Amino acid sequence: MAAITIGALTKEFPGGVRALDGLDLTIVDGEFFALLGPSGCGKTTLLRTIAGLESPTSGSIRIGSREVTPLPPGARDVAMVFQDYALFPHMTVQENIAYPLKIRRQPRPARAAKAVSVGAQLGLDGLMARRPAELSGGQQQRVALARAVACHPSVFLFDEPLSNLDARLRLEARTFLKRLQRELGVTTVFVTHDQAEALALADRIAVMEAGRIRQVGTPREVFGRPANTFVANFIGSTPMNLLPGVVSGGRVELSGQALALPPSVADALGDGEKVIVGVRPEYVSLSRDRGDLAGAVSIVEHLGTSSLVTVEVDGLLVGATVPEDTEPEPGTPVWLTPSPARVLIYRHDDGTLVG
């Protein structure tokens, strides 16, 4: 059990690529923490630097009260699960799970007993004598988790633990992973590029872009009030509407039509200031007779229990979700009304949230 404190961490690869750029982050003891971001944002580099597989150019990492920056991976008391699970193909499931204990020179019977008990805990009984190649993807993932659990680390590091599973299994594994982390209460950092996975699993999320952290917060905060347009764009299964506009007399003009500014931000903005209005399609209601913005239906996409309707409002494309079976036909004139409490205003020049 340990908190992780990262101070001014920078990692520069040969060739001048800055994977991590002066990063500060504190991960609380026992927390399930997600590092989320697009490919190449430095999230995996950060995880590998915490593990000790990469050494930082500058900055420090503390696990609990120990300064681990100069320590090799094996001395950091962490366990890592790799994206490809990295199960040793020449060892049985039991030998794989017991491998960390073998490295610690525990006696053979103790190793076997521990491997069997951890294996049973993760639903692997009956598979202990098999080799990794004889297991399904989900079973391989559980073996990798069991191997990490068996070495009782103070921190778990998961690198895209679910991305090699098919979509259905991923949901099951997600629930399993969250329950396991709750039971063990071990500080866990996991890397993902899937925002839905991060929202579902994590206690807190750090959204990263180009080696920097753009926002740290609970899933609710990150989803409900993204701190900038990058996070707003990245989080959410349907892309957030980000509409350029200009402030004028307590309203925002969007290419010909206008929306009321949320009262909380009205004071912070002067007339003529350029802003971006952000509102999720889920928070935009669609009506055939009245509303704030008039337009015509352009595309309808089915999402299962709901549909995403893209409406053209004076040249801007605005998305709104509607329940199934109430989709309008393309070409229908409709009205859109963003839910006032859910409208977010970003500054046009740096994309930060106002208010």
Partner 1 sequence: MIPTVVRRIMFYVLVGFGTAFFALPVLWLLSAPFDDTPTYAVRPPREFTLANFQAILDNRYAVGSLVNSTILSLGTMVLVVVSAALAAYALSRAQVPGRDALIYLLLLLSSVVTGTAAMVPIFLLIFELGLIDSHFGVVLVLSGGLLPAAIFLLKDFIDTIPRSYEESARVFGASPLQILRQIVVPVARPGLATIAVWTVVQVWGSFLTPFILLRNQDKQPAAVLVRTFYTEGGSPNLGLIAAFSLIYSIPVVLMYLLAWSRYGFRFHGGIKS
- The residues of the shown chain that bind partner 1, judged by CB under 8 A, are 51-53, 72-76, 78-80, 82-84, 86-90, 99-100, 102-104, 132-133, 140, 151, 157
Q: Single out the residue of 52, 67, 31 nearest to residue 186, CA to CA.
A: 31
DSSP string, 166-221: -HHHHHHHHHHHHHHHHHH--EEEEEES-HHHHHHH-SEEEEEETTEEEEEE-HHH
Q: Cβ of residue 20: shortest distance to partner 1, in angstroms? A: 18
Closer CB to partner 1, 101 or 284, in the complex: 101
CA dist., res. 124 & res. 15, Å (int): 45
Q: Cβ of residue 74: shortest distance to partner 1, in angstroms? A: 3
Q: Cβ of residue 106: shortest distance to partner 1, in angstroms? A: 12
Q: Single out the residue of 90, 66, 89, 96 nearest to residue 78, CA to CA.
A: 66
Q: Cβ of residue 312: shortest distance to partner 1, in angstroms? A: 47
Q: Are 153 and 187 in contact (CB under 8 A)?
A: no
Q: How close are the terminal C-alpha atoms of the chain, in Å?
A: 37
Q: Which two tokens stand for residue 50?
A: 């915490």
Q: Cβ of residue 208: shortest distance to partner 1, in angstroms? A: 21
Q: Which two tokens stand for residue 59?
A: 């900055």
Closer CB to partner 1, 136 or 326, in the complex: 136
Torsion of CA 191, 193, 197, 201, to 10 degrees: 20
Q: Cβ of residue 171: shortest distance to partner 1, in angstroms? A: 23
Closer CB to partner 1, 131 or 251, in the complex: 131
- 215 Cβ contact list (under 8 Å, min separation 6): 205, 206, 207, 221, 222, 226, 227, 228, 231
Q: Are 119 and 96 in contact (CB under 8 A)?
A: no
36 φ/ψ angles, rounded to the nearest 5 degrees: -120, 140
Closer CB to partner 1, 49 or 229, in the complex: 49
CA dist., res. 176 & res. 158, Å (int): 14
Q: Cβ of residue 19: shortest distance to partner 1, in angstroms? A: 16
Closer CB to partner 1, 151 or 252, in the complex: 151
Closer CB to partner 1, 129 or 296, in the complex: 129
Closer CB to partner 1, 130 or 342, in the complex: 130
Q: Cβ of residue 342: shortest distance to partner 1, in angstroms? A: 43
Closer CB to partner 1, 87 or 222, in the complex: 87
Radius of gyration of the chain (CA): 24
